[in-house]
Structure 1
Amino acid sequence: MIRGGLRLAVLIVRRTFSLDRTSSMAASISFFAILSFLPFMLLAASVLGHVLASSETALKDVLAFIAQNFPGAAAASLETFKNTSHSETVYGFIAALGLLWAGSKVFDVTEYAMNKIWRCRRGRTFWASKLIAFVCIPTMMIFVLVSILLTSIMRAVQHGQIPFLQMSIIEVPVIGAVISFLAPVLISTLLFTWIFYLLPNRWGHLRSSFYGALLAALLWEAAKLLFDYYVRNFEQAFTVYGSFTSAILLFLWVYYSAFVFLIGAEFGSLLQAVRERQLRIEAEKETSG
């Protein structure tokens, strides 16, 4: 068991840093993801402003989501939203156009990475690829909007009083940890599973996609805690960048997120390869027997 786990870890490292050059693919994904970050969040604020009938409430929810998922980027985002909140309809339209362009580029490089990692022999045709993108981009937007709403709901629930105990839910150690850690892990796992299964040009790997997505979600949530701790306690290390500090932190975090995301895909792909190899061996035994 231990030997098999070590061998799997060695294979992941070999594929990540040698065969697939995952770090380079993560850089490509993070570049276009950063370009789509601002229009994505502006559109989210605009949509939530109409849904909640309050742009101020929507702004707080979006900033809470950014602070939770993009450590170090909340300060720069707050200034941007303040400058654009007075024209949310206009900026919502502009953001939708920007998101359509940048989001399609994110999808293109992510689809290429998924096909390479999952060992697909060929990619989709141009129109099939665009059709998948047309489905993926709105669905990812829905995932993020749901995540933002859940962040707002969890914030309200965590500060609710428990009868007879005279304390908030967040003050109860076990319940607080479950709400603040497991809920984001569940959302991330569902999103990553959907991406790992849908983007590669192959089928029949749902279970492997789930395990890879679960690993990526756990690593991502753990990294958020460590990154947030590092930013809060060692922020002076970034003072050399001056006013660009928030941008540098955002770049680092998005790149790391893309890298962890691809490691999860590598793990799922290896599990699928092992499973297919076992099925071939069993089929050969049945044929020879």
Structure 2
Amino acid sequence: MIEFVIKMVKKALHVLEAAWFYIRSISKKLAEDDVLFLASGIAFNGILTMIPLMLLTASALGVFLNSSELGVRQLNEILDAIFPPQPFATSIKESILTVISDIIRYRTSLGLFGVLVLIWTATSLFDALRSALHKIYRLPKTRGLIASIIHHVGFVFLAFILFIGSNFAIWFVTLLERVALTVPALAALNLWSLGQYLPTTIVTLLTAVMFYIIYRHIPDSPPPKAAGIISTITTTVLWVVSGKLFGIYLSSFSAIGKIYGPYAFILVLLIWIYYSSIVFVIGGIFGQVYWERLKLKDSGRLERWV
């Protein structure tokens, strides 16, 4: 009996020791790594990149669907899944789609040079993410300028693939709902209620995949797989929870609309991008602390309480 109690106490102390290590290390890194500064750089490049990425995605969808209008419509469904159903979010979506629709309408004057400029602009976000992750993971830069540009362009096309994957997944769910309405056996399964949550779930899962790829493959030297998974889970959970809380705040307590009037949606969009950037940096720090503990444990330098 005494041995069992001692064993349980040791296990409890190991858990507390690990928890204290994470709390102490994460707090220290939050102070040392200039989290707000890194998030500001990512947010600025995110704002600069958002329209080019969505424009190129809508154009690519237009080619696949043989209609630019259908491409914009599919992009609208993705934005519906990303942004909360609040008045400010609706204004943001409408403004983004208006800009993209106008550019697509006059795309004949854009030309190949314009497309290359859009791709070049879109790579700035991935360069900012690379710089932030190098600082968080304490990694040296080993990739040359040309190799970095090619690497970032590859991530732009990867973003296209994930956006298109989201569209086809949402399109498949919509098709399944329509088929269910015509088949009595499927209608009894109440797939319509399932379809309300599936688009958001699909977009969240694909976003988590993108997070994992970024954490693992944006840096010049990839961190361990486990560190990438820890960062991905942390970022995805915090991103979803913070988005829900932000939506509740806007709908219940915020006076932004009264203060800023019709321009409130711009401020809301900037806040959304900024706190998403903070969440991304914090997720990277969680993964780095896990990696640091793993290295200390493997080298026998990890401090133990018992």
Is the CA contact (8 Å cut-off) linking 2:166 and 2:202 kept in structure 1?
Answer: no
> 1:15 maps to which residue?
29
Partner residue of 1:118?
Answer: 137
In structure 2, what is the Cα distance between the partners aligned to 1:70 and 1:97?
29
Distance 1:150 1:93 in 2: 30
Q: Structure 1-normalised TM-score?
A: 0.83
Task: Pick closer, same or farther for the CA change 1:81–1:132 going to 2, 3 Å.
Answer: closer
AA aligned opposite 1:125: G
Deviations 1:49-105 (A, max 9, x none): 121123332222111212322452212123324434434555585763343232222
Structure 1 residue 185: deviation in Å?
3.3
> Equivalent residue for 1:5?
19
Q: Check 1:58–1:258 CA distance in 2 against 1; reply closer, same or farther (3 A cut).
A: same
CA positional deviation for 1:170: 4.2
Distance (Å, rounded) in 1 between the aligned partners of 2:273 and 2:254: 18
- Cα distance in 1 for partners of 2:251, 2:101 equals 24
Aligned mate of 2:43, from 30, 36, 48: 30
Cα distance in structure 2, aligned partners of 1:70 and 1:92: 31
Give the 5 Å matches for 1:1-289.
Answer: 1-16=15-30, 18-71=31-84, 72=89, 73-88=92-107, 90=109, 96-157=115-176, 160-161=180-181, 163=185, 166=188, 168-171=190-193, 179-180=198-199, 182-203=201-222, 205-234=224-253, 236-281=255-300
The residue identity in structure 2 corresponding to 1:199 is I
Q: Deviation per CA, 1:143-188, whole angstroms, max 9, x where unpaired?
A: 222223323333444674472664632425xx865x3554333212
Matches of 2:28 and 2:257 in 1, distance apart? 32
**Quick one: distance in 2 between partners of 1:232 and 1:52?**
36
Read off the aligned partner of 2:207 and give its amino acid letter.
S
Retained in 1: the 8 A contact 2:51–2:100?
Answer: no
Q: Which runs of 5+ in 1 are unaligned?
A: 283-289
Do 1:115 and 1:123's aligned partners in 2 also have CA atoms closer than 8 Å?
A: no
Is the Cα contact below 8 Å between 1:114 and 1:196 reproduced in 2?
yes
User: What is the RMSD of the two structures over their aligned residues, measured on CA atoms?
Assistant: 2.8
Residues paired across the two proteins, number: 278
Give the gaps of 5 or more residues in structure 2.
1-14, 302-306
Which segment is superposed worse, 242-251 or 96-105?
96-105
Larger Rg: 2
- Residue 300 of structure 2 aligns to a residue whose secondary structure is helix
| Paired amino acid for 1:163 | A
Note if contact 1:39-1:98 (Cα within 8 Å) is conserved in structure 2: no
Shift of 1:116: 0.6
TM-score for the superposition, normalised by structure 2? 0.79
Q: For the Cα contact (< 8 Å) 1:61–1:148, is it kept in 2?
A: yes
Distance 1:235 1:46, change over 3 A: farther
Q: What corresponds to 2:8 in structure 1?
A: none
Deviation at 1:236, TM superposition (A): 4.7
Percent sequence identity is 22
> Secondary structure, in 3 states, of the residue corresponding to 1:66?
helix
Report if aligned partners of 1:40, 1:96 keep a CA contact under 8 Å in 2.
no
Q: Offset at 1:8?
A: 0.8
